[in-house]
Chain A
């Protein structure tokens, strides 16, 4: 079985400060890991993914995430947050042993204050 945990329901930061959204996962095999963002009344937008290779993955809008196998984590980071980054963020995992199933975390609401 696979699962994802996003331990924080909400993250609040000031504009210009670093932003971190936490994610830990559990899979039987090796993970494929994803981050998506959802703006109000919009669908999910892809931010970045880890499949294999470098542990530090860079994605859209200045976001990056670091795959840490020993801690089974894939935290999303942005060095300097913008007000426009305020949205709902989802971490997702797929077990390489599973054909296709993608499991989502509960989501973290990010609020960046001006």
Chain B
């Protein structure tokens, strides 16, 4: 199964700043997914990142707030821009994995103060 390295694992950021989260996969994958898990909540899909094309955003999420890069088939970044305390969440990347359905990174726990 795929192995995902996600970093940073956690960060505390000032409001109004931006944080870029990195996700590295040990194999080439077509699609990478970014999720948000707000405190005490379930996972919500933010966007799907395909290499060589613009990310596809779900309802309620916009590129200006959550720009995504996908420069190659093993790497993606998600930036949380102009942060506010409401952005405090766990952010997870995921890939489709033939054996397991989907494999997830360990997550980035973001606290905005």
Hey, which chain B residues are within 8 Å of A101, CB to CB? 45, 48
**Interface size of A by Cβ–Cβ distance < 8 Å?**
20
Question: Which residues of B (89-109) have their CB < 8 Å from a CB of A?
Answer: 92, 94, 96, 100-107, 109
A90 CB–B CB distance under 8 Å: yes
Please tell me which one of the listed residues B44, B48, B109 contacts residue A100 in the complex, with CB atoms under 8 A apart.
B48
A34 & B42 in contact (Cβ 8 Å cutoff): no
Q: How far is the CB of A105 from chain B (nearest CB, A)?
A: 6
A32 to B42, CA, bound (A): 19
B58's closest neighbor in chain A, by CB? A101
What B residues does A100 contact at CB under 8 A? 31, 33, 48, 96
Q: Given the complex, which residues of B lie within 8 Å of A42, measured CB to CB?
A: 106-107
Q: Find chain B residues with CB under 8 A from A94 CB.
A: 101
Q: Please choose the segment from A13-21, A22-30, A43-51, A62-70 that sits at the chain B interface, where 4 or more of its residues have CB less than 8 A away.
A: A43-51
Instruction: Give every chain B residue within 8 A of A32 (Cβ-Cβ).
Output: 101
Tell me, yes or no, whether A74 is within 8 Å of chain B by CB. no
Question: Nearest Cβ distance between residue A40 and chain B, in whole angstroms?
Answer: 11
B binding-site residues for A, Cβ under 8 Å: 1, 6, 31, 33, 41-45, 48, 92, 94, 96, 100-107, 109
